[in-house]
Structures are given as C-alpha cells and as structure tokens.
Amino acid sequence: MMRTVTAKQLKQNTGAIIKMVRAGEKLMLTYRGKPVAIIQPAGESSIKTRTLDSDEAWMDIEAALAKSEPRFKNWKEATTWIRDRN
C-alpha cells in the first residue's frame, strides 16, 4: 500500500520525504484530503521527457506562438483589461 503525505507534511518535512522517495518509496500527495499527485523516484516515471537545447526550445515557443491568435491588439489594451478586472 502506498503511503499518503499531506501538502502540509510535505511543506514541513521536505527533506525527510525526499529521503523516502530516494530510498524507492512511492507517496500519494493529498491536498485537503484529495489526492493530487504521486511522488516517486525519477527512474520509475512513466512520463517521457526530453531535454531541448536553447535553440530548439525557442523554435518550439515561436512555433506555438505562430499558431495562436493574440488576445489583445497591443499592450495598452492588455493593460486596460487587467485594470478593469479589479
């Protein structure tokens, strides 16, 4: 059975929790009694990651921006929208 750790416990005992995970233990992280994440050793992750160099990363960012429509025409419109929200 997987041990449960609350967000408060994680905040107060980060070092001890990291030691448990480094020792191979999987932990269920909860927030206000509801599961939000599983903390597990990095080698067991089912998530595939890849590291990009800075040029590749900027190309990905620029490609994503090129596919999107700007929400505002200019910075003044964005500033007005922000101020009117409050």
Domains for the chain: give ranges and CATH numbers: 3-44 (3.40.1620.10), 54-85 (no CATH)
Closest CA to 10 of 2, 65, 21: 21
Predicted confidence at residue 42, as pLDDT, reads 85
Please write the tens of the pLDDT for every residue from 14-31: 999 999 999 999 999 999
Measure Cα distances from 41 to 1, 17, 30, 64, 85 in Å. 16, 11, 18, 31, 42
Which pTM value belongs to this model? 0.50
